[in-house]
Amino acid sequence: MSIILNKAIADWRQTDIEKLIKDKIAEGQSIEYKEKMYERNDESIREMLRDITAFANAYGGYLIIGIKEDDEDQGIPTEILGVENAEEERDRISSLCLSSIDPRIPGFEIQIVPSGKQNPIIILHIPRSLRMPHMVTFKGLFQFWKRHDRQKSKMSTDELKDGFSKVYSLSEDIKSFILSRENILIQEAGGSPFYVIGAAPILIKDEIINIYDNNLRELLKNLLPNERKEGWILDFKGRDVLPTLEGLKIDIKDFRRIDLYRNGYLEFRSNNFFNGKDQLLMNEYAVVEYLISFFKKIKIISEYIGYFDSYIIFISFYNIMKIGLKRYININGCRFEDSFDLYLKRNLVIGPNEIDIKTEPNKIAQFFADRIWNAFGRERAPFFNKGKFDLNKLDEE
């Protein structure tokens, strides 16, 4: 399979499409070409929805519209034709998928890519779904379809049972994995406070990491672009990346550690999230910036390895009974420390929550940061302004 198919479709360019043709990447389980856009009659719409759900109910894949195939019916792309009124057609596809597929397919994307000709092409990325099987519901159709190599067919009763069973199994695998990690982390923390952020891919049993990839090791340890160097970030520059039974780790003893498992699980933990040496008050800058840095790190790693499905995220603070979070008041635009709120349970665990990793990292960080502040009886976390990190945005209300 071409390495192009391990790129986010937002990054696809004309040269990528040309390479599919040059390399003769034929249709198969994970890719299909369409010469023309689906027509607007009911049967063509049903066909489109069948094609899309068939990918989601199997292993996911790419549907590329505006590409001519060979005359020998081998599914080999030969020429870029493009799609007229591509933006309008993109919106039509999106609207039909939202209204006529149940449940909705998480992570489903549509991208318009210039072709070098008059008309661009349309690419649909349909990820393997944790919520399968997906049903076509257009005008009372109510059908389930599944892709088999280049073909699709109605799902049999046994396939439907197997689909529901696999979803349940995947869900149980993830729950079991996260519970196991939490138990181990609690034991390793002992009585010390620890801040942990974990991200598990939904296909938790697949091995997707090459621990001997030097580029990946550099991504794991180095500062990422546009990060605040003096901030609370996942920067392990100059530290050794060491192999473990599970994958890779960088460990600064009694300070912080990051692990990347062979199955793609990323975990960061630190006991450095307090105001100086005072372990009675959490440092709100550390709490928020570690989140942002973590989600930037997992995004760039997932893009590098070509993983674009969902992650299951959990955030944990262990041994924080009676540890406080400062409260501030704003007087004439100036921020003053007012008091602090204590957490009155031993551990604070948020999640697991399924997150589309293609979401902007700041927005994911804000989602979890708000819940941390909620746990202390507060409305929302500071430092976010219209979905972006803003060090000067101090208000919580």
Contact between 182 and 307 under an 8 Å Cβ cutoff? The reply is no
> Rounded mean pLDDT of 280-299?
92
Within 13 Å and on the Cβ side, how many CA atoms surround 42?
5
Kindly report the average pLDDT of the chain as a whole number: 88
pLDDT digits (tens, 9 = 90+) for 198-249: 999 987 878 889 999 999 999 999 877 777 778 898 989 889 999 999 999 9
Q: What letter represents residue 311's amino acid?
A: Y
> Rounded mean pLDDT of 112-117?
87
> Rounded mean pLDDT of 76-98?
95
Task: With a cut of 90, say whether residue 74 has pLDDT above it.
Answer: no
Separation of alpha carbons 86 and 228, rounded Å: 39
Q: What letter represents residue 24's amino acid?
A: K
Q: Is 353 exposed, middle or buried (0-12, 13-18, 19+ CB in 10 A)?
A: middle
Question: Tell me, which fold does domain 3-155 have in CATH?
Answer: 3.30.950
Q: What pLDDT shows up at residue 246?
A: 95
- CA-based radius of gyration for the chain: 24
Q: Are strands 31-34 and 61-65 parallel, antiparallel or unpaired?
A: parallel
Contact between 294 and 330 under an 8 Å Cβ cutoff? The reply is no
DSSP states along 20-41: HHHTT---BTTEEEESS---SS
Percent of the chain with pLDDT over 90: 55
> How big is the CA angle at 102 (ends 101 and 106), to the nearest 5 degrees?
85
pLDDT digits (tens, 9 = 90+) for 209-220: 999 999 999 999
Task: With a cut of 70, say whether residue 395 has pLDDT above it.
Answer: no
Q: What pLDDT shows up at residue 230?
A: 80
Global confidence as pTM: 0.74
Q: What pLDDT shows up at residue 215?
A: 93
Q: Where are the domains of the chain?
A: 3-155, 166-389
The confidence band for 1, taking pLDDT boundaries of 50, 70 and 90, is very low
Q: What letter represents residue 243's amino acid?
A: P
Task: Find the helix or strand (DSSP H, E) in which 383 lies.
Answer: none
Task: With a cut of 70, say whether residue 337 has pLDDT above it.
Answer: no
Q: Is 397 exposed, middle or buried (0-12, 13-18, 19+ CB in 10 A)?
A: exposed
